[in-house]
Amino acid sequence: MLGAGFMARTHTAAARVARADLAALASSSPETASRAAAELGYASATTADELIASGLDVVHVCTPNPTHVDYARAALRAGAHVICEKPLATSAAEARELAAEAERAGRPGAVPFVYRYHPMVREARARIAEGEAGAVLTISGHYLQDWLLDPGDDDWRVSSESGGPSRAFADIGSHLVDLLEFVSGDRIARLAAVTRTVHPERGGRAVTTEDTAALAVELAGGGIGTLLVSQVAPGRKNGLTLEIAGSRESLRFEQEDPERLWVGRRGHSLLLRRDPDTLGADAARLSPLPAGHPQGYQDAFNAFVADAYAAAAGETPAGLPTFADGARAAVITDAVLASASAGTWVEVSAE
What is the binding site for ligand SOE (CB under 6 A)?
145, 171-172, 175, 238
Provide the 8-state DSSP code for 289: S
Report, in Å, the least distance between residue 183 CB and ligand SOE.
17
Report, in Å, the least distance between residue 243 CB and ligand SOE.
19
Nearer to ligand SOE, 111 or 311 (CB): 111
Report the largest interatomic distance among the alpha carbons of the chain, rounded to a whole angstrom. Answer: 62
User: In Å, how far are 88, 187, 242, 250 from 136, measured between CA atoms?
Assistant: 28, 11, 13, 9
Residue 181 half-sphere exposure toward CB, CA atoms < 13 A: 22
Nearer to ligand SOE, 171 or 307 (CB): 171
Residues 55 and 78: beta-carbon distance below 8 Å: yes
Report, in Å, the least distance between residue 313 CB and ligand SOE.
26
Nearer to ligand SOE, 237 or 265 (CB): 237
Nearer to ligand SOE, 136 or 172 (CB): 172
Residue nearest to ligand SOE (CB): 171
Q: Using CA atoms, how far apart are residues 64 and 286, in angstroms rounded to an integer? A: 29
Nearer to ligand SOE, 175 or 274 (CB): 175
Q: Using CA atoms, how far apart are residues 194 and 254, in angstroms rounded to an integer? A: 24
Q: Using CA atoms, how far apart are residues 256 and 302, in angstroms rounded to an integer? A: 17
Q: Using CA atoms, how far apart are residues 171 and 281, in angstroms rounded to an integer? A: 31
Report, in Å, the least distance between residue 112 CB and ligand SOE.
7
Report, in Å, the least distance between residue 212 CB and ligand SOE.
13
By DSSP bridging, strand 224-230 and strand 136-144 are parallel
